[in-house]
Structure 1
């Protein structure tokens, strides 16, 4: 399989929010973002250039900040690279609507995720 243009690049960001409707109201009013709802616990936003999501599955992160999500053509290989580089797997590979992903902590404790369509 040929490597895609998005392989191992930042692809998506995700905000954990207390209230999805309030987040939509704020970002829609302030910046004109558009939204696509996926049930009561997830909403995708698009700012016209970058897509991301709001979720209320977990409480908001202490200190705030989005979850940065990278894309990988081969998810298992990306997980292996993260571990070999010294990262810690915070959430193992799991399915979600649209693909699979895992979360990891870098050496400074930042949590990021990597997803794949397959």
Structure 2
């Protein structure tokens, strides 16, 4: 632990089991359940969890955007769609790389970028 550093992030999940399955299959996350309404993950660059909620995290509403890294955007994009995610902003180029945005099964928005 480092003093005054971000060390945990939590996301709402209206479809907790579907969301866990999605992140397990697409990003190879492991989960530890704490009751029926909370599940934590580790080793994702930053530890965190999903809590049962009908709300969602979308940049349209001012939410922070969590951006993941991949060295193969095209393959990851196909995997996201295969397991129930929705691409909401197709791959675009920016100085230093390229990225796309997707929505998970609980309607949370994430982005994935690559420098390749």
TM-score relative to the length of structure 1: 0.48
More strand by share: 1
TM-score relative to the length of structure 2: 0.48
